[in-house]
């Protein structure tokens, strides 16, 4: 499947608000903590709008201005007026409002409910206010109106992707005359159509509605015929659509091509022996992170509310924001002597607080520590390394010597210039030569003139119709830390003799038992069988998803769509998200004998249990700026020594400039939980 360009898409939602959409249904909810099953009642329209709101919430979540949508309602009441009116049941009705009916007529009961724009929270609020009407609407009329409105909006944006989604229960009559002309128009404009049907038959779910009306059977068959005639059409049931929209998915999007220069050899000193070509760079992988969380704290409120004659303290939560303030301690200026004896008195602490002076950030300059002092270095004083934009190949090495554990950052594609066949041939020759010799290249990348260089590795990659290079950044020698640890196999006594028998050294029996256990837990042949009857590996990195990202996203979407979280709690994670959480049962069953042998060899008879006692203490934290000496005093122990008692210690190192970070401007109450853990052993029978 080719990658889509991120954004640059207009999606039209055509929602059926006919009277049949007001029928109520029972929807299953997640079970209670005790395991009791729960259900709730809602209309077909409310149930189907969950899919629409989740799709729109996806656009809001991505935050792209070029990802836009519009909503049309078919089954709207009235004839010509674009204004809403008061219905007999005191609800606001939506009348006909579309450009096609205003221009040509004949497309009544179709209303442009939400114009095409980037969606926001107001879009979801308008969908929540949508109610079933008292008039049936024709989905083909809505489809034609949606195509024309979308075409007018994208008149000067020919490269944008066009999508239309119809949400209906299939109970309204359809005028199917000249529907082939609509199909030709959609294929010419490259419009994809998705029909989400309420209680439509689906063999994959599986679901087949009983006692289905004749008109719904005919309409459902027509929708399948319509979508099969399109270049890109699909029909699905709403239950399956709601299930699949929660499926974790990694979307492949096109990355913007950035121009740079690839150089081999010295183009300045020996230009006749050097090669310089124009290349394009795009992302191959991109790091995904969950949405950041905002921190809130509970603040004490001095105001008290009287409820039934009793005073009740209200809880106020405010967002915590980081604030940086700069202070200078005048008592530690250069040249002043510090007392070697520190007397712990409160009067001295107050005097030291008076010597602390606040300074503004504009009054500070950059400095680097040099020995025991600081060397001031204003911005721009040290000259930067003179670098030139481009990728310079420094040398080649055998691919077998590449260490994947040292790779840093994301992978980039290096393509030849798409508009220059000569550049494509030149890059392809380098790629094929590296592939035949089985070598990688060491390259130096400078993104812009004057920027810091990055060192990395270029690997040849050959696709079916194009050759390119893959770039990954590698660390400098100073960035690699080497740590040494004591041997786990060789134990030496205090006298220097080698120990051969020790509880920390495994025996041959234990090594054999562990080898059998590891072999029994092998996942390479634990998957499903392929077409040839051979088992494939159980774990596939392409189907493994980060629960932190997708579960957080599911919770955000659910909270944005559902007005009441208590009556509609967050559903459980999608099964695909939990696919690799637990080991396969087949492997566990196969490893039972190996596990029993390990227990016997290692004499596993005791289990450790952890008991945690929680001590909750309410503390009132008041922001206070401590001096360096105060911080040093507090580290000597608690409680503080009596006044006048002397303590001998080396004077602390103090800096003239200290940074104090304050997160709160008012006192607040916080609960601190101290854990005291104790362990005990229990002999297993």
Residue with tokens 């016997």: 600
**pLDDT digit string (tens) for 211-240?**
889 999 999 999 999 999 999 999 999 999
For the chain, which residues make up each domain, given as ranges? Answer: 9-21+40-245, 251-480, 607-683
Say if CB 165 and CB 12 are below 8 A apart.
yes
Separation CA 471–CA 389 (nearest Å) = 16
Average pLDDT over residues 461-466: 92
Average pLDDT over residues 73-100: 56
Architecture field, domain 9-21+40-245: 3-Layer(aba) Sandwich (3.40)
Give the 3-state secondary structure of residue 181.
helix
147 pLDDT tier (thresholds 50, 70, 90): very high
Architecture field, domain 251-480: Beta Barrel (2.40)
pLDDT at 151 over 70: yes
628: which DSSP letter?
A: H
169 pLDDT tier (thresholds 50, 70, 90): very high
Q: Where are the alpha helices (DSSP H) in 68-203?
A: 99-103, 121-128, 139-153, 179-189
pLDDT at 438 over 70: yes
Please provide the distance, in angstroms rounded to a whole number, between the alpha carbons at the two ends of the chain: 57
Mean pLDDT (the chain, rounded): 78
Separation CA 168–CA 238 (nearest Å) = 9
Separation CA 515–CA 597 (nearest Å) = 11
Separation in Å, CA 50 to CA 54, 260, 325: 6, 46, 47
**pLDDT digit string (tens) for 245-295?**
888 887 777 788 999 999 999 888 888 889 999 999 999 988 888 888 778
Separation CA 192–CA 150 (nearest Å) = 12
Bridge-based pairing state of the strands 191-197 and 233-237: parallel
Average pLDDT over residues 460-485: 91
Say if CB 254 and CB 3 are below 8 A apart.
yes
Crossing angle of helices 121-128 and 547-561, in 10° steps, is 50
Instruction: Supply angle C-alpha 440, 445, 449, rounded to 5.
Output: 160
Centre a 10 Å sphere on the Cβ of residue 459 and count the other Cβ atoms it contains. Answer: 20
Separation CA 7–CA 522 (nearest Å) = 42
pLDDT greater at residue 530 or residue 670: 530
- pLDDT of amino acid 422: 92
- pLDDT of amino acid 492: 86
Instruction: Supply angle C-alpha 531, 535, 541, rounded to 5.
Output: 100
- Spatial neighbors of 346 by CB under 8 A, at least 6 apart, are 643
Q: Return the percentage of the chain with pLDDT > 70, whole number.
A: 78
Q: H or E segment at 557?
A: helix 547-561
Q: H or E segment at 351?
A: helix 346-354
Separation CA 647–CA 131 (nearest Å) = 78
Task: Name the pTM for this structure.
Answer: 0.67
Instruction: Supply angle C-alpha 97, 100, 104, rounded to 5.
Output: 115
Say if CB 409 and CB 475 are below 8 A apart.
no
pLDDT at 531 over 90: no
What phi and psi, each to the nearest 5 degrees, are found at residue 631? -65, -40
pLDDT at 685 over 50: no
CA nearest neighbour of 203 among 167, 172, 235: 235
- pLDDT of amino acid 604: 85
**pLDDT digit string (tens) for 90-126?**
444 565 667 777 777 778 889 999 999 999 989 999 9
Separation CA 627–CA 613 (nearest Å) = 35
251: its two tokens: 């979307």
568: which DSSP letter?
A: S
- pLDDT of amino acid 431: 95
Separation CA 311–CA 72 (nearest Å) = 52
449: its two tokens: 């003139």
Q: How many residues does the chain have?
A: 685
- Spatial neighbors of 444 by CB under 8 A, at least 6 apart, are 391, 392, 394, 453, 454, 455
Question: Which is it for the CA torsion 281, 59, 146, 152, positive or negative?
Answer: negative
- pLDDT of amino acid 332: 61
Say if CB 537 and CB 529 are below 8 A apart.
no
Question: Which is it for the CA torsion 77, 83, 86, 90, positive or negative?
Answer: positive
- pLDDT of amino acid 638: 31
Separation CA 23–CA 28 (nearest Å) = 16
- pLDDT of amino acid 351: 58
pLDDT at 549 over 60: yes
Instruction: Please report the beta strands in 525-640, taking only residues with DSSP state E, as ranges in sequence order.
Output: 606-621
């Amino acid at each position: 499947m080719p990658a889509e360009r991120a954004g640059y898409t207009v999606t039209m939602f055509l929602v059926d608000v006919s009277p049949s959409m007001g029928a109520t249904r029972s929807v299953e909810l997640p079970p209670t903590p005790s395991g009791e099953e729960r259900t709730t009642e809602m209309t077909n329209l409310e149930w189907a709008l969950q899919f629409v709101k989740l799709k729109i919430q996806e656009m809001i979540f991505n935050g792209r201005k070029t990802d836009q949508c519009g909503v049309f309602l078919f089954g709207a009441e009235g004839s010509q007026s674009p204004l809403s009116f008061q219905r007999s049941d005191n609800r606001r009705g939506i009348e006909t409002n579309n450009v096609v009916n205003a221009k040509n007529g004949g497309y009544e009961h179709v209303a442009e409910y939400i114009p095409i724009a980037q969606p926001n929270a107001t879009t979801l609020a308008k969908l929540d206010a949508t109610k079933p009407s008292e008039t049936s609407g024709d989905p083909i009329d809505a489809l034609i109106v949606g195509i024309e409105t979308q075409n007018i909006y994208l008149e000067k944006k020919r490269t944008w992707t066009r999508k239309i989604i119809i949400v209906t229960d299939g109970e309204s009559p359809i005028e199917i005359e000249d529907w082939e002309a609509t199909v030709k128009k959609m294929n010419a404009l490259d419009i994809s159509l998705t029909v989400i049907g309420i209680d439509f038959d689906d063999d994959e779910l599986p679901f087949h509605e009983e006692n289905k009306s004749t008109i719904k059977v005919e309409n459902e068959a027509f929708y399948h015929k319509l979508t099969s005639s399109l270049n890109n059409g699909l029909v699905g049931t709403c239950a399956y659509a709601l299930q699949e929209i929660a499926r974790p998915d990694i979307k492949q999007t096109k990355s913007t091509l950035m121009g740079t220069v690839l150089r081999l050899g010295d183009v300045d000193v020996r230009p006749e022996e050097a090669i310089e070509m124009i290349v394009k760079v795009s992302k191959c992988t991109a790091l995904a992170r969950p949405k950041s969380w905002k921190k809130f704290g509970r603040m004490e409120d001095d105001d008290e509310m009287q409820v039934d004659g009793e005073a009740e303290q209200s809880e106020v939560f405010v967002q915590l924001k980081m604030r940086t303030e700069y202070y200078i301690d005048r008592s530690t200026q250069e040249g002043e002597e510090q007392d070697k004896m520190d007397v712990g008195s409160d009067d001295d602490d107050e005097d030291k607080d008076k010597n602390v002076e606040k300074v503004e950030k504009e009054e500070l300059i950059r400095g680097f520590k040099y020995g025991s002092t600081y060397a001031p270095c204003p911005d721009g004083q040290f000259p930067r390394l003179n670098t030139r934009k481009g990728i310079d190949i420094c040398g080649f090495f055998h691919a077998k010597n590449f260490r994947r554990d040292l790779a840093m950052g994301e992978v980039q594609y290096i393509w030849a210039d798409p508009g220059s066949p000569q550049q494509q041939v030149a890059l392809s020759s380098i790629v094929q030569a590296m592939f035949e010799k089985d070598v990688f290249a060491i390259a130096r990348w400078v993104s812009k003139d004057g920027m810091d260089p990055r060192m990395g590795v270029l690997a040849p990659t050959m696709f079916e119709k194009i050759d390119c290079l893959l770039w990954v950044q590698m660390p400098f020698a100073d960035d690699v830390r080497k740590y040494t640890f004591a041997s786990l196999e060789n134990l030496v006594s205090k006298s220097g003799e080698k120990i051969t028998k020790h509880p920390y050294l495994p025996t041959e029996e234990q090594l054999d038992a562990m080898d059998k256990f590891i072999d029994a837990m092998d996942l390479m042949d634990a998957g499903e069988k392929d077409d040839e009857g051979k088992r494939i590996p159980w774990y596939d990195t392409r189907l493994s998803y980060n629960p932190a990202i997708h579960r957080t996203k599911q919770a955000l979407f659910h909270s944005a769509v559902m007005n009441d979280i208590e009556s509609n709690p967050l559903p459980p994670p999608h099964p695909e998200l939990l696919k690799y959480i637990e080991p396969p049962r087949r492997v566990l069953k196969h490893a039972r004998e190996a596990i029993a042998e390990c227990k016997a060899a290692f004499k596993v008879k005791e289990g450790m249990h952890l008991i945690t006692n929680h001590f909750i203490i309410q503390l009132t934290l008041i922001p206070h700026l401590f001096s360096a000496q105060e911080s040093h005093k507090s580290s000597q122990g608690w409680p503080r020594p009596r006044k006048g008692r002397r303590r001998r210690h080396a004077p602390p190192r103090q800096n003239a400039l200290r940074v104090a970070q304050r997160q709160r401007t008012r006192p607040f109450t916080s609960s601190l939980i101290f854990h005291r853990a104790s362990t005990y052993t229990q002999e297993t029978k």
